[in-house]
Amino acid sequence: LDDAPLAPMKPIDFTARDGMKIHGYLTLPIGVAAKNLPMVLAVHGGPWGRDSWGFGPYTQLLANRGYAVLQINFRSSTGFGKKYLHAGDREWGLTMQSDLTDGVKWAVDAGIADPKRVAIFGGSYGGYAALAGAAFTPDVYRCAIDECGPSNLFTLLASIPPYWAVIRAIFNTRVGNPDDPKDKELLTAASPLFSADKIKIPMLIGQGANDPRVKQAEAEQIVDAIAKHRGSAVYALYTDEGHGFVRPENRLDFTARMEKFLADNLGGRYEPMKEDRIPGSTAKIRVVGSPP
């Protein structure tokens, strides 16, 4: 990659609405003025992980296609100390999500991002954040891309297998306990499925049929809900994938659909697929409504 025209990735920080300092990274396309750009907010998974400085295939692809790429280490991200981590406890859909919204506002106020051309994209927790962005703050984003993200926290937590008992205890503490009636309101409000009637932006949803962490039903139920409420979505199910896409043919297929979807909604460049799917991909496509 020494001679590749890679876009610089620069650290940024901003102050969230409650005064907490939030850290992240901004990558800008090469040779384009950093003014009023279409932008993709790329949300990391975990959520107890983080974005780090360095080469990222999706980040570089999106910058190459003409997008500013904003990556935010929202509260609950690791690597910034226990206070930063635990500030996200029981905050799914709440301050963890508003950190993302505030990051978009920071980029818009700085003149970097066009407020009418912002997408939210992520996998796993990042996919949840994309669904939450579409359901809870639909006016912030032009479109959303969810890869294997949970839509209903009750069914997500119920699907955790017995041998993940330690992980289940962490989820009960940091997300909410579905067996505790006092947490019912919290988990209901944080589940995008129950606000699917508010989703009015185009969605691209990718899912692996064999996903042990976020079951296929998580994608199916939100797609059905979007259809019920006359929204628009493209649903790509990969029949031989798990949590995230591993086979190169499937990764290429979803990436091709993603960049076409972003081009249709944000106006960036894309490389067209020569056929209806990448050869060798197992994609099964369902189209709801009339996505652009």
Q: Which residues are catalytic?
A: 124, 211, 243
Residue 180 Ramachandran class (φ > 0 left, ψ -120 to 50 alpha, else beta):
beta
Distance CA 179, CA 173 (A): 12
Angle at 43 between CA 263 and CA 247, to 5 degrees: 70
291 touches 232 (CB < 8 A): yes
Q: Could you tell me the two tokens for 118?
A: 């912002």
β-pairing, 68-73 vs 21-27, is antiparallel
70 touches 41 (CB < 8 A): yes
Residues 6 or more apart in contact with residue 218 via CB below 8 angstroms: 148, 149, 150, 151, 152, 155, 156, 207
Distance CA 88, CA 86 (A): 5
